[in-house]
């Protein structure tokens, strides 16, 4: 069947029409090869314009459509859908941007703009005739999720997914659920025992029909892509495979042990906040003078990040100490009080009200710990506001340290092709707007594995990651535009550039048989993982990788059309 | 049954994210946003910390995703009015405010903006720039639909009997767009040059500017544009639709008849006016003296009506020269009676038949028709209306030595135009108020004197004016040569023959339907003084217009009443604070000594400069002026001034609140000088200034002098962490200020910034590194201090920050080019009403209360209603996004 192209050129009111001589471009477009219909529209995107496109597809038997108007960012879906309504495959549509790319930038050069508009339309027409129909890609998504980590984030994610009716495989490295919180005595800001919060949650998870908990389990390998992952796990001395549709990484983090800092290794009564909570568990007898030092191992040149909630942890333990014994002297040495937001600022006020003393120290004059034998008893600190050094008595010195990444983050990163940042925490797809997603589809992140995060935030992130995982599972399928890369096996020289460059890990090696006896390794694109970014196509030296909708042939046709 | 749909309230980043996540989970979402576009506060940001991503670049795709998602229905410019039911089965009533733009038709091209004469402070640009009354909230708005900021109809238009778009033409005139203004006036009033002289201008009585200082001189600026047109080479002649065969007859060429003819001619009808007098214009010509309304003005405006195809036959008396029956036979489909009221009412006192008693209207008619009338030297004109003023001033000009006015009420009650009374007094004519003639005394059949009674004011009568009550025994006699009663007129109905079945009221006026002006004869309509008794020109014009509408409907065979009889409600509660006192421009007049002996026009008219200056005094009561320029500019025909507020009810299973935040008003923190020192601005104002799509296109400019600043001082915690204002920490300002300082340095490498802070709360991922880079690479200095005040260095005109250095404990003062206040962020005020409608509780600050934060951080005090983002507590973008997704998951769980 012969190519029959319709070209619809939009005035966009005067946005295009005020600069570009649209009737002239319409007339010109009619002279281009295979163009059988042209028209100018006041607004092609209005119902008038859209119905005209549909009518012409039918009457003129158009099998290619070019709309020359504004930006594809907002309008391409509209026009593609419109073509589909008229029975034309949407991949046979080409968009030319005469507004952002022409009239708006050449407002003062009307003749030149008209010439450029003709060039752009000619390029569009050259390309559209080479386009071929395609169908959107669709893959099935299993309605089950693998959650790695049974801390508060993982538990929250597991519960909400299970309550929504999805099957959950919850993987826990240890022999019990609850993660780091297990070691925490009480939780701020209500100061209730941690077990009040976590025990009911664990019990619900354990009893839930939709959740299978794997204790002392380790993830060995993950294969597949969104909708169809296969996870190999090791548990009870055996290995097994799990088929899941989505994965949530909630492996948590560890408290920094401040080796070599502030006498931590010298004195037995110098400890971290978590160690303090485990050691004393609410019985603070014998503690009359307590000094806490914040920002230990945080906000330094070596460890630049802030632990986010360590200040609040210190305040919590200080308040508990003061509540147990109002006569106790509790001093927090701090650099900035990170009581951000509403609840924590209130908590800070509460701490000051119960008599916790806050003393600011600076990094150039760090506090000094002195002691006798293996027992610390004095802390010297320079008080900036008073302008002199203070000597504080100390029955215990508590070092407030941040969380540090879990030890096997790097392994998981390699296994699932999910990135970690400089500090060793996992890196989300976008810090602002995709905080619980990874660039790879179907894998999500929650809690302290991403960055130190307090309890409410962990719960929120667990739920948020669950929402992301639930989306494809609720639909049962993922549909992607067919604009993806494809490798021509004959042309592929197996150089590996595309395998390396693909940011989504969508290209892998595969063996193809070249004769009954011989096979050859070539690159192959996994359709479900390809995002159509085109890096592979651009980097392929043999022109073996072609991106649908942007093939070399199509782009060269546009280039030829420009220079002709 | 559980409803699967969810209502999300608030279209900021949290609301959008919750909507997208819910929609992706297969749940239908209604996303409600009170502003004209979704996008929220993030849309106002230039960049986002700590990656310095362009805010709009990452936000716009989200907005578009919301708009294009098949499961998301955007309901913008709308608010919740009521929520009933319970979790799983709510009914939400939504009020969709009128945009006056058809969302289906608007393509967002922006051609409508160009002509809009109204500019208002641009809220999106934090008040730094201006926008038009028709506007898109911001360039990337979704939906990309415009909206008209239309508070309502301005009082002037509502009050004008003809409902001319007064604010509209005043706004156009203020921009020097005289021809457009005239066209707009002529939509509703075919005789603007006439009205510009003689209208009683009720528009001015209700003008809101009057509450500031004095009303705008609306009538005089109208006269200017009308005169300008009449004096131009080609006058504006309204376009006439395709000529029709149907004919209409109009009886009387006064304002009512002329107006009726004008509107019928515009519709294409063949119109003939029959006029009894030898001149056209009716009372305009024979009632109003020339020194007020020159004949050539009347003739010029009537000529335009003739140019539109109207035929005027003068000297033809209906009932005598031709009858109504004959008109009907000549295939006139309808007849309009606009015969006016030309017969003087009698005083009903003794001596009225004496020689020397000359009715005022008769006197004026004779004089205006060029006849000589001799009255004597001492003339009493009786009455307080315009006819009395016109009569007495005309008499003065004809050489009467001692004309004066007797009026039975006080000066305040006089119905004559104020300026007529003023000019009358300038001309040395006495007005005796509270004086009622009781008897005319004659000698030899001629007037010799008039006996009067002194009056006092009693209780108000049905007209609202205080009733005059005679003072007993106060009779006195004034010697006069003539008495001219001018106390009102009535109509002469001899034109009606037996073929007419229309009826008269007890007052001698024609009975008509008040809306259609149809008489008891279906083909006869009447209006003007003939129906109302003696009233005003503009009322007659309106009557003619309404009759024309009825006649058109009658001929076309459609319902005469449908859609008519609109009650015009003026906009209320117009803010009048903050306007400078500018006196009303005075109308220049000929000096009294140069006018009392001739008929030259007394009022000379405004100059162009005076007109424009006067028009600029308008305070734009309705915001939109209803000039309809946008209606013409919109090629997509999307502007719809008839659009009404609409109510819809949605069935939803759950509600998610994401109402975001407002900016704390820093004006009460007077120590920091905002509003007093021009170069002290808020962080949001700075954000708009540094944004490439903002009012200064990304250039930093000091508001005071436009100079590029070299030193910026940021003051943190302005209104936050302050028991006098907001106790809480606003959570984002430390990073926000750091970002702004970085951006400023990126724009201007010479620029340095100093941030005064209490604690540098850089707690998020990558935040510490961001602050480190600010110090090391972007010349940002951090000083731990809470500044006490900001003053102005009078000499350099720079703001100075006073603070205590916490390192050396010295009081210091640092001068900056610009000071930026990191204002507190507060829950939106609308939370209060929303919470009330939803039945959820707020905390002490107005945030949505979260009763069980550890167990259900997304919950509220009511089951089935959830919260996320800043409306729960201060949080940054990623935290808001996380909370939004989390709330979505919780909703999915509840609705599962």
Contact A321, A329 (CB under 8 A): no
The helix/strand/coil state of A107 is coil
Q: What is the dihedral of CA B206, B208, B210, B214, to 10 degrees?
A: -110
Considering the domain delimited by A5-128, tell me its CATH architecture.
Answer: 3-Layer(aba) Sandwich (3.40)
Do B586 and B656 fall into the same domain? no
Q: Which residues of B touch A464 (CB under 8 A)?
A: 881-886, 889
Average pLDDT over residues A264-293: 94
Do B230 and B243 fall into the same domain? no
Average pLDDT over residues B830-850: 96
| Strand pairing report for A403-405 and A443-445 | unpaired
Please report the beta strands in A48-110, taking only residues with DSSP state E, as ranges in sequence order. Answer: 64-69, 93-97
Using the 8-state DSSP alphabet, how is residue A188 labeled?
A: T
CA torsion through residues B24, B27, B31, B37, sign: positive
The maximal CA–CA distance of chain A, rounded, in angstroms, is: 98
Q: Which residues of B touch A441 (CB under 8 A)?
A: none
pLDDT category at A1 given cuts 50, 70, 90 is confident
pLDDT category at B144 given cuts 50, 70, 90 is confident
As a residue count, chain B comes to 896
Q: Over the stretch B508-522, which tens digit does the pLDDT of each residue have? A: 899 999 999 999 999
pLDDT of residue B2: 61
Give the closest-approach CA distance of A313 to chain B in angstroms.
14
Beta carbons of B893 and A451 less than 8 Å apart: no
For A485-547, give the CATH class: alpha beta
Beta carbons of A339 and B729 less than 8 Å apart: yes
Hunting for tokens 């119109």 — which residue is that?
B271
Do B654 and B678 fall into the same domain? no
Judge whether B358 lies within some domain.
yes
Q: What is the mean pLDDT of chain B?
A: 94
Do B255 and B367 fall into the same domain? no
As a residue count, chain A comes to 564
Which CATH number covers residue B885?
A: 3.50.50.60
Give the closest-approach CA distance of A456 to chain B in angstroms.
6
Give the closest-approach CA distance of A511 to chain B in angstroms.
37
Beta carbons of A470 and B721 less than 8 Å apart: no
Q: Which of residues 626-655 of B touch A (CB under 8 A)?
A: 635-636
d(CA B156, CA B167): 7
Average pLDDT over residues B767-783: 96
Beta carbons of B878 and A197 less than 8 Å apart: no
Beta carbons of B764 and A308 less than 8 Å apart: yes
Do B228 and B242 fall into the same domain? no
pLDDT at B1 over 60: no
User: Which candidate, A477, A485, A492, places its Cα nearest to that of A542?
Assistant: A492
Using the 8-state DSSP alphabet, how is residue B104 labeled?
A: T
User: Which candidate, A323, A327, A256, A325, places its Cα nearest to that of A293?
Assistant: A256
Do B733 and B809 fall into the same domain? yes
Hunting for tokens 């149907």 — which residue is that?
B246
Q: Which residues of A touch B882 (CB under 8 A)?
A: 435-436, 457, 460-461, 464
The helix/strand/coil state of B485 is strand
d(CA A306, CA B761): 9
What dotted CATH number matches A144-254+404-478? 3.50.50.60
pLDDT of residue B3: 72
Q: Which of residues 49-108 of B touch A (CB under 8 A)?
A: 50-51, 53, 58-62, 64, 68, 104-105, 107
A to B CB pairs, distance under 8 Å: 192
pLDDT at B88 over 60: yes
Residue ranges, CATH 3.50.50.60, chain A:
144-254+404-478, 257-396
A511 contact partners, CB below 8 Å, separation of at least 6: A519, A520, A521, A522
- By CA distance, what is A12's nearest residue in B? B109
Out of B24, B107, B881, the one facing A471 most closely (by C-beta) is: B24
Beta carbons of A461 and B882 less than 8 Å apart: yes
Average pLDDT over residues A164-177: 97
d(CA A295, CA A334): 7
Q: Which residues of B touch A194 (CB under 8 A)?
A: none
Q: Please say which residue of B781, B804, B825 terminates a domain.
A: B825
Beta carbons of B729 and A336 less than 8 Å apart: no
- ipTM computed for the complex: 0.87
What string of DSSP letters covers B350-409? BTTTSBTB--HHHHHHHHHTT------SEEEEE-SSHHHHHHHHHHHHTT-SEEEEE-SS
Do B48 and B127 fall into the same domain? no
Interface check B896 vs A, CB under 8 A:
yes
Interface check B331 vs A, CB under 8 A:
no
| Strand pairing report for A5-10 and A64-69 | parallel
Average pLDDT over residues B824-840: 96
CA torsion through residues B663, B667, B670, B673, sign: positive
Q: Which residues pair with B148 in a beta bridge?
A: B134
Do B274 and B203 fall into the same domain? no
- By CA distance, what is A299's nearest residue in B? B768
d(CA B858, CA B839): 16
| Strand pairing report for B47-48 and B865-867 | unpaired
Report how many domains make up chain B.
Answer: 6
pLDDT of residue B578: 84
The region of weakest confidence among A65-74, A248-257, B512-521, B629-638 is A65-74
Judge whether B250 lies within some domain.
yes
Q: Which residues of A touch B873 (CB under 8 A)?
A: 341-343
The maximal CA–CA distance of chain B, rounded, in angstroms, is: 113
Q: Which residues of A touch B768 (CB under 8 A)?
A: 299, 304-306
Using the 8-state DSSP alphabet, how is residue B40 labeled?
A: G
Hunting for tokens 């009720």 — which residue is that?
B202
d(CA A447, CA B335): 84
Average pLDDT over residues A313-324: 96
Q: Which residues of B touch A436 (CB under 8 A)?
A: 882, 885
Judge whether B396 lies within some domain.
yes
Beta carbons of B636 and A46 less than 8 Å apart: yes
- By CA distance, what is A194's nearest residue in B? B854
Beta carbons of B854 and A459 less than 8 Å apart: yes
Give the end-to-end CA distance of chain B in Å, rounded to a whole number: 12
d(CA B623, CA B475): 56
What residue numbers bound the domain in which B890 lies? 6-97+645-660+828-895
- Percentage above 70 pLDDT, chain B: 100
Average pLDDT over residues A134-149: 94
Q: Which CATH number fits domain A257-396: 3.40.50.620, 3.50.50.60, 3.30.70.600, 3.90.25.10?
A: 3.50.50.60
User: Which candidate, B580, B337, B608, B378, places its Cα nearest to that of B477?
Assistant: B378
Out of B727, B881, B892, the one facing A470 most closely (by C-beta) is: B892
Do B734 and B773 fall into the same domain? yes
Q: Over the stretch B571-622, which tens digit does the pLDDT of each residue have? A: 999 999 889 999 999 999 999 999 988 999 999 999 999 999 999 999 999 9
Which CATH number covers residue B631?
A: 3.30.70
Q: What is the mean pLDDT of chain A?
A: 94
pLDDT at A29 over 70: yes
SS3 letters across B652-719: ECEEEECCCEEECCCCCCHHHCECCECCEEEHHHHHHHHCCCCCCCCCCCCCCCCCCCCEEEEEEEEC
- By CA distance, what is A340's nearest residue in B? B731
Q: Please say which residue of B438, B460, B486 terminates a domain.
A: B486
Judge whether B564 lies within some domain.
no
Q: Which residues pair with B803 in a beta bridge?
A: B812
Q: Please say which residue of B443, B469, B486 terminates a domain.
A: B486
Using the 8-state DSSP alphabet, how is residue B239 labeled?
A: P
Q: Which of residues 107-136 of B touch A (CB under 8 A)?
A: 107, 109-111
Give the closest-approach CA distance of A559 to chain B in angstroms.
29
Beta carbons of B890 and A160 less than 8 Å apart: yes
CA atoms within 13 A on the CB side of B629: 25
Q: Over the stretch B152-161, which tens digit does the pLDDT of each residue have? A: 999 999 999 9
- Percentage above 90 pLDDT, chain B: 87
Judge whether B243 lies within some domain.
yes
Q: Which of residues 872-891 of B touch A (CB under 8 A)?
A: 873-875, 877-879, 881-890
Interface check B146 vs A, CB under 8 A:
no
Do B674 and B799 fall into the same domain? yes
Judge whether B255 lies within some domain.
yes
The region of weakest confidence among A80-84, B299-303, B307-311 is A80-84
Using the 8-state DSSP alphabet, how is residue B504 labeled?
A: B
pLDDT of residue B467: 87
pLDDT of residue A143: 98
Q: Which residues of B touch A384 (CB under 8 A)?
A: 806-807
Residue A127 CB: number of other CB atoms within 10 A? 23
Beta carbons of B765 and A431 less than 8 Å apart: yes
Q: Which residues of B touch A425 (CB under 8 A)?
A: 765
Interface check B232 vs A, CB under 8 A:
no
Beta carbons of B64 and A73 less than 8 Å apart: yes
- By CA distance, what is A310's nearest residue in B? B763
User: Which candidate, B336, B469, B480, B462, places its Cα nearest to that of B403?
Assistant: B480
Q: Over the stretch B117-135, which tens digit does the pLDDT of each residue have? A: 999 999 999 999 899 999 9
Judge whether B565 lies within some domain.
no
Backbone phi and psi for residue A73, each to the nearest 5 degrees, phi listed first: -55, -40
Do B707 and B810 fall into the same domain? yes
Angle between helices B166-174 and B178-188 (to 10 degrees): 170
pLDDT of residue B373: 86
- Where would I find the H helices in B763-818? 767-777
pLDDT at B860 over 70: yes
The helix/strand/coil state of B609 is helix
Contact A425, A445 (CB under 8 A): no
d(CA A352, CA A342): 16
pLDDT of residue B304: 97
pLDDT category at B461 given cuts 50, 70, 90 is confident
- By CA distance, what is A17's nearest residue in B? B109
Beta carbons of A306 and B763 less than 8 Å apart: yes
Highest mean pLDDT among A76-80, A135-139, A373-377, B808-812: A373-377
Average pLDDT over residues B6-24: 98
What string of DSSP letters covers B272-303? EEEESSSSSSTHHHHTS-TTTS-HHHHHHHHH
- By CA distance, what is A159's nearest residue in B? B893
Q: Over the stretch A192-224, which tens digit does the pLDDT of each residue have? A: 999 999 999 999 999 999 999 999 999 999 988
Angle at B121 between CA B120 and CA B126, to 5 degrees: 155
User: Which candidate, B233, B261, B239, places its Cα nearest to that of B249?
Assistant: B261
Beta carbons of A160 and B893 less than 8 Å apart: yes
Interface check B870 vs A, CB under 8 A:
no
| Run of H or E residues at B431 | strand B431-432
């Amino acid at each position: 069947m012969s190519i029959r192209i319709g070209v619809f050129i939009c005035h966009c009111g005067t946005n295009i029409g005020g600069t570009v001589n649209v009737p002239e471009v319409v007339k010109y477009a009619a002279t281009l090869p295979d163009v059988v219909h042209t028209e100018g529209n006041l607004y092609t995107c209005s119902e008038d314009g859209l119905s005209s496109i549909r009518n012409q597809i039918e009457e003129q038997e158009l099998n290619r459509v070019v709309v020359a108007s504004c930006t594809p960012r907002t309008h391409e879906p509209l026009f593609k859908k419109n073509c589909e309504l008229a029975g034309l495959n949407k991949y046979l549509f080409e968009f030319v941007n005469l507004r952002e790319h022409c009239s708006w930038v050449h407002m003062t050069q009307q003749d030149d703009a008209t010439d450029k508009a003709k060039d752009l339309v000619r390029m569009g027409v050259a390309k559209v005739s080479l386009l071929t129909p395609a169908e959107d890609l669709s893959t099935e998504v299993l309605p089950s999720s693998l959650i790695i980590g049974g801390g508060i984030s993982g538990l929250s994610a597991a519960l909400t997914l299970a309550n929504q009716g999805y099957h959950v495989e919850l993987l826990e490295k240890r022999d019990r659920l609850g993660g780091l919180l297990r070691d925490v005595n009480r939780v701020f800001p209500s100061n209730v025992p941690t077990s009040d919060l976590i025990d009911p949650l664990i019990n619900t998870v354990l009893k839930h029909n939709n959740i299978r908990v794997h204790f002392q389990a380790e993830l060995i390998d993950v294969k597949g892509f969104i909708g169809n992952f296969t996870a190999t796990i090791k548990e009870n001395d055996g290995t097994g495979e799990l088929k899941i549709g989505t994965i949530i990484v909630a492996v948590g983090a560890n408290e920094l042990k401040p080796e070599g800092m502030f006498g931590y290794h010298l004195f037995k009564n110098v400890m971290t906040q978590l160690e303090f909570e485990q050691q004393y568990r609410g019985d603070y007898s014998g503690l009359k003078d307590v000094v806490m030092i914040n920002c230990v191992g945080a906000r330094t040149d070596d460890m630049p990040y802030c632990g986010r909630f360590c200040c609040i942890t210190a305040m919590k333990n200080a308040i508990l100490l003061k509540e147990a014994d109002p006569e106790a002297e509790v001093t927090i040495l701090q650099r900035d009080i990170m009581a951000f937001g509403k609840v924590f600022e209130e908590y800070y006020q509460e701490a000051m009200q119960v008599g916790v003393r806050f003393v600011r120290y600076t990094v150039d004059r760090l506090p000094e710990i002195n002691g006798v034998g293996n027992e610390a008893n004095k802390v010297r600190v320079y008080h900036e506001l008073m302008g002199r050094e203070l000597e504080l008595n100390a029955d215990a010195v508590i070092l407030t340290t941040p969380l540090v990444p879990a030890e096997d983050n790097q392994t998981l990163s390699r296994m699932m092709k999910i990135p970690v940042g400089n500090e060793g925490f996992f890196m989300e797809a976008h810090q602002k707007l995709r905080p619980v997603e990874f660039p790879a589809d179907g894998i999500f992140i929650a809690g302290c594995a991403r960055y130190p995060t307090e309890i409410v935030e962990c719960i929120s992130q667990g739920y948020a990651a669950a929402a992301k995982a639930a989306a494809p599972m609720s639909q049962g399928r993922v549909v992607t535009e067919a604009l993806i890369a494809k490798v021509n096996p004959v042309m592929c020289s197996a150089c590996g550039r595309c395998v390396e460059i693909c940011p989504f890990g969508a290209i892998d090696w595969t063996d193809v048989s070249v004769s009954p006896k011989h096979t050859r390794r070539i690159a192959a694109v996994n359709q479900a993982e390809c995002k159509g970014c085109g890096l592979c196509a651009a980097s392929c030296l043999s022109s073996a990788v072609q991106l649908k909708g942007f093939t070399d042939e199509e782009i060269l046709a546009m280039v030829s059309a420009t220079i002709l | 049954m559980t409803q699967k749909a969810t209502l999300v309230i608030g279209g900021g980043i949290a609301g959008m994210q919750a909507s997208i996540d819910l929609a992706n989970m297969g749940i239908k979402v209604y996303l409600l946003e009170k502003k004209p576009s979704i996008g929220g506060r993030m849309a106002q940001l230039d960049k986002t910390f700590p990656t310095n991503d362009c805010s709009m670049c990452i936000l716009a795709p989200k907005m578009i995703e919301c708009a294009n998602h098949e499961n998301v229905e955007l309901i913008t410019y709308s608010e919740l009015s009521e929520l009933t039911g319970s979790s799983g089965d709510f009914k939400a009533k939504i009020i969709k405010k009128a945009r006056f733009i058809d969302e289906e038709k608007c393509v967002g091209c922006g051609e409508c903006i160009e002509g809009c004469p109204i500019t208002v402070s641009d809220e999106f640009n934090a008040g730094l720039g201006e926008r038009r009354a028709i506007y898109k909230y911001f360039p990337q708005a979704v939906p990309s639909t415009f909206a008209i900021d239309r508070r309502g109809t301005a009082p002037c238009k509502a009050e004008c009997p003809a409902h001319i778009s007064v604010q509209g033409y005043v706004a156009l005139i203020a921009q020097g767009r005289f021809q457009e203004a005239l066209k707009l006036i002529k939509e509703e009033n075919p005789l603007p040059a006439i009205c510009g002289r003689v209208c009683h201008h009720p528009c001015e009585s209700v003008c809101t500017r009057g509450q500031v200082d004095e009303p705008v001189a609306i009538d005089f600026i109208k006269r200017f544009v009308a005169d300008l047109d009449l004096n131009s080479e080609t006058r504006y002649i309204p376009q006439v639709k395709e000529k029709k065969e149907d004919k209409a007859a109009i009886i009387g060429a006064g304002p009512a008849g002329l107006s009726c003819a004008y509107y019928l001619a515009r519709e294409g009808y063949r119109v003939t006016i029959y006029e009894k007098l030898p001149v056209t214009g009716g009372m305009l010509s024979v009632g109003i003296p020339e020194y007020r309304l020159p004949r050539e003005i009347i003739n010029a405006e009537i000529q335009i009506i003739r140019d539109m195809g109207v035929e005027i036959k003068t000297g033809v008396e209906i009932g005598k020269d031709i009858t109504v029956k004959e008109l009907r036979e000549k295939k006139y489909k309808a007849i309009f009676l606009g015969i006016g009221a030309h017969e003087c009412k009698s005083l009903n006192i003794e001596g009225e038949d004496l020689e020397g008693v000359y009715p005022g209207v008769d006197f004026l008619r004779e004089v205006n028709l060029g006849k000589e009338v001799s009255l004597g030297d001492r003339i009493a004109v009786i009455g307080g209306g315009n006819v009395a003023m016109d009569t007495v001033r005309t008499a003065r000009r004809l050489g009467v030595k001692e004309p004066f006015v007797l009026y039975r009420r006080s000066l305040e009650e006089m119905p004559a135009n104020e300026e007529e009374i003023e000019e009358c007094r300038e001309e040395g004519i006495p007005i005796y108020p509270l004086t009622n003639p009781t008897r005319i005394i004659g000698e030899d059949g001629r007037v010799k004197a008039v006996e009067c009674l002194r009056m006092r004011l009693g209780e108000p009568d049905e007209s609202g004016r205080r009733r005059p009550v005679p003072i007993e025994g106060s009779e006195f006699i004034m010697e006069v040569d003539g008495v001219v009663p001018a106390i009102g007129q009535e109509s002469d109905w001899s034109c009606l023959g037996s073929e007419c079945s229309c009826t008269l009221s007890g007052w001698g006026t024609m009975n008509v339907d008040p809306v259609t002006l149809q008489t008891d004869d279906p083909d006869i309509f009447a209006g003007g003084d003939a129906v109302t008794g003696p009233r005003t020109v503009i009322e007659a014009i309106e009557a003619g217009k309404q009759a024309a509408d009825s006649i058109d409907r009658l001929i076309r065979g459609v319902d005469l009443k449908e859609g008519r009889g609109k009650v015009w409600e003026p906009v209320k509660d117009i803010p009048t604070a903050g306007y400078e006192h500018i006196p009303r421009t005075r109308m220049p007049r000929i000096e009294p000594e140069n006018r009392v002996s001739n008929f030259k026009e007394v009022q000379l008219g405004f100059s162009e400069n005076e007109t424009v200056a006067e028009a600029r005094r308008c305070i734009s009561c309705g915001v939109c002026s209803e000039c309809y320029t946008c209606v013409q500019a919109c090629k997509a025909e999307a502007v719809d001034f008839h659009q009404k507020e609409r109510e819809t009810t949605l069935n939803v299973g759950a509600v998610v609140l994401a109402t975001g935040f407002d900016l704390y008003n820093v004006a009460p923190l007077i120590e920091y000088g905002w509003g007093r020192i021009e170069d002290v601005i808020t962080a949001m104002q700075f954000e708009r200034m540094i944004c490439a799509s903002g009012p200064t296109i990304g250039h930093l400019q000091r508001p005071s002098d436009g100079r590029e600043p070299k030193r910026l001082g940021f003051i943190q915690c302005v209104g936050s962490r302050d028991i006098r204002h907001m106790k809480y920490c606003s959570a984002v300002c430390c990073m926000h200020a750091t970002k702004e300082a970085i951006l400023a340095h990126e724009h201007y490498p010479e620029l340095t910034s100093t941030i005064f802070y209490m604690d540098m709360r850089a707690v998020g991922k990558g935040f510490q590194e961001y602050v480190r880079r600010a110090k090391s690479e972007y010349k940002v200095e951090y000083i731990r201090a809470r500044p006490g005040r900001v003053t102005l260095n009078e000499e350099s005109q720079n703001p100075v920050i006073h603070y205590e250095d916490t390192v050396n404990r010295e009081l210091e003062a640092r001068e900056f080019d610009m000071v930026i206040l990191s204002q507190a962020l507060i829950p939106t005020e609308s939370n209060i009403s929303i919470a009330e409608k939803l039945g959820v509780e707020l905390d002490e600050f107005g945030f949505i209360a979260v009763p069980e934060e550890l167990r259900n951080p997304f919950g509220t005090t009511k089951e089935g209603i959830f919260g996320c983002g800043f409306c729960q507590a201060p949080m940054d973008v990623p935290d808001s996004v996380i909370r939004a997704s989390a709330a979505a998951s919780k909703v999915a769980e509840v609705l599962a």
